[in-house]
Each structure stands twice: as C-alpha cells, then as structure tokens.
Amino acid sequence: MLLPPLVLTAPAKLNLFLHVTGRRADGYHLLESVFVPVSLADTVELTATGPDEAAEITLLDAPPGLTVENELGCRAARALSNHAAARAGIRVGARIRIVKRIPSGAGLGGGSSDAAAVLIGLNRLWGLGLSSRELAALALPLGADIPFFLGDGPAFVAGIGEALRPVTVPARDVVIAHPGVAAATKAVFASRRVVRDSPAVERFGWPLDWGGNDLEAAAREIVPEIAALARAFEAGGLSPRMSGSGSALFAFCANAAAARAAAGQLRALGWPAWAARTLGRLPHATG
C-alpha cells in the first residue's frame, strides 16, 4: 500500500543583482549575487513506492517537454536513489507530480527549486537521514542553484553557486513577468556582451536596487522580447531588472495592491505576470 503523497512548496527566487567576477579554468563563471525566495511557487507531490517498484522514478502529469530524463527534480531523485543504493544498499523509488507555475527558462530557479523539494521530501520519505550539506553536495553537479533552495532563506551567493551566506532582506511586494520566450543559459553566458570582470564585493545591507545584472545586455540581444517586456514595465512607471540569466523581469512595488495592479496591466498587454512577495525563509528551512 502506498503512503499518502508528501506535498511540498517549491518557490521561485529572484537575483537582486548578479555580477560576474571571473571565470575558472574549467569554464565555469564566478558569480556574486543575492538570492531571495518569493511566493510564486511550484507544488511537488512525492509518493514513495513499494519494493515491487524499487528504484523507479515516475513523473506524473508532466507539462509538455518535461520527461524523467530532463526534469531536474527527477534527475535529483535518481541521484538520491543511486546514492542510497550505493551507501546502504537501500533500493527505493518514487512517483513525482510537479504542478508548474514558475515559467521555465526564466532565471527564476524553478527547476532547481523543484529538485531541492524532491531531495528534501524523498530524504524524509525514504528515511535516509542525510543532512542539508550532504544533499547539497549531491545536488551541486546537477545545478548550481539547488544548494540555495536547500538552505534557510535569502543568501549572498558566490563562486559557482556553492558558497552561501545568509542575509536579511526586507519583505517587499514585487511584480514578476515573463516574455513568453526562454533564455538559453549557455548562450547568454557565451555572449561577448557579458561583463566578466566585475569587482568582487561582499557587502551586506544592500538597498534593493543596488548593483545590476551583468547578463542582462546579452540576454536582451539574444531574446529581443525581454527589451519589449522592459518597455511595458517602464510604461507603467516601473524600473525592471532581469533575474538570473533571464528571461523574466521583476520590479518592486509599494504594496500588494500595487503589485497586483501592475501584474494586471502587464497581463492585459499579453505578458504572463504575477504579483508576489519576497520570503524571509524557505518553506522547508530547518535552521
């Protein structure tokens, strides 16, 4: 008999700024950023399977284009299953249902957040007892943003995403919009328009509009719709900033009503948009 599914919330994140400070010999870029989770979120439902289905990872009701092979949450589940088998001879499986609300290819960390929720949930369901640090070590090869979602809340992020330091970010209402086109992370980072020598600065207590996004010019060139969406923000009196490597833009608003109004105006112009609020803690924080 299957146990009832474990339901987890997998929030999106925003990059308050994103600076590229260098590049490693292996080609990975060195970054500095502040990540903050927001209330826009996917829902992850996990069901541990019995011995007759051991080690099987099944993705249910997947949106178009998502498969067990390419969905980051399923890849994380398989990595955790393989780890359990290698470490303790435990053969385990799961059924995974992910209700997607965070757009893909948006720089909002949706896939990474899903993967973190899967790791947290299956670690609990399978009784593996792994620490957040052990889960992060397992997850980092799959995606540099996953360790953030395994943490407690807003963080200063450095290196390739593995160096995290908690920071306090005031709660703010925000409007987030997507141009309807994904930005390919590899193409953005490969662009000659990327600034790769921003000075490394570890600074705390940033105003929310401090810094910039060193990837934004490249992303706008590759995805012209980003610039069109930015003009729509600006026509409404908002100053947008891109999150991650794109293609989503966001702007802080005076209050929840203003964020809802801005989202409604953008949707009326044909842009997918959401009113959200920054979170001081991730839903599954243990610290």
- Answer yes or no: 145 catalytic: yes
Within this chain, do residues 220 and 237 fall inside the same structural domain, yes or no? yes
Given the structure tokens 């011995």, which residue do they identify?
51
User: What is the DSSP annotation of 210-234?
Assistant: -S-BTTHHHHHHH-HHHHHHHHHHH
Within this chain, do residues 151 and 179 fall inside the same structural domain, yes or no? no
Per-residue pLDDT of the chain (287 residues; tens, 9 = 90+): 557 889 999 999 999 999 999 998 888 899 999 999 999 999 999 998 865 554 577 877 777 787 888 889 999 999 999 998 888 787 888 889 999 999 989 999 999 999 999 999 999 999 999 998 999 999 989 998 999 999 999 999 999 887 899 999 999 999 999 999 999 999 999 999 998 888 887 655 666 677 899 999 999 999 999 999 999 999 999 999 999 999 999 999 999 999 999 999 999 999 999 999 999 999 988 65
3-state secondary structure 37-72: EEEEEEEEEEEECCHHHCCCEEEECCCCCCCCCCCH
* Structural tokens at position 271: 């842009």
Chain centroid offset of residue 103 CA: 10
Q: What are phi and psi of 69, to 5 degrees?
A: -75, -35
pLDDT at residue 103, rounded to an integer: 92
Within this chain, do residues 215 and 74 fall inside the same structural domain, yes or no? no
Q: Which of 42, 52, 114, 145 is catalytic?
A: 145
Query: Is 92 within the bounds of a domain?
Result: yes
Taking the CA atoms of residue 235, residue 110, residue 43 and residue 151 in that order, the dihedral angle to the nearest 10 degrees is: -110
Within this chain, do residues 27 and 58 fall inside the same structural domain, yes or no? yes
Within this chain, do residues 97 and 214 fall inside the same structural domain, yes or no? no
Within this chain, do residues 192 and 268 fall inside the same structural domain, yes or no? yes
pLDDT at residue 205, rounded to an integer: 61
- Counting the structural domains of the chain, the total is 2
Within this chain, do residues 138 and 236 fall inside the same structural domain, yes or no? no
The three-state secondary structure class of 176 is strand
- Answer yes or no: 197 catalytic: no
Query: Is 283 within the bounds of a domain?
Result: no
Rounded to whole angstroms, the maximal C-alpha distance in the chain is 59
The three-state secondary structure class of 82 is helix
Query: Is 120 within the bounds of a domain?
Result: yes
Query: Is 266 within the bounds of a domain?
Result: yes
Query: Is 1 within the bounds of a domain?
Result: no
Could you tell me the pTM of the whole model?
Answer: 0.93
30-63 as b/e, with b when 16 or more CB fall inside 10 Å?
bbbbbbbbbbbbbebbbbbbeeeeebebbbeebe
Structural domain range at position 88: 6-166
Q: What is the CATH number of the domain that holds 248?
A: 3.30.70.890
pLDDT at residue 203, rounded to an integer: 59
Within this chain, do residues 128 and 247 fall inside the same structural domain, yes or no? no
* Structural tokens at position 98: 């992910």
Query: Is 285 within the bounds of a domain?
Result: no
Within this chain, do residues 21 and 151 fall inside the same structural domain, yes or no? yes
Query: Is 114 within the bounds of a domain?
Result: yes
Taking the CA atoms of residue 207, residue 248, residue 117 and residue 259 in that order, the dihedral angle to the nearest 10 degrees is: 60
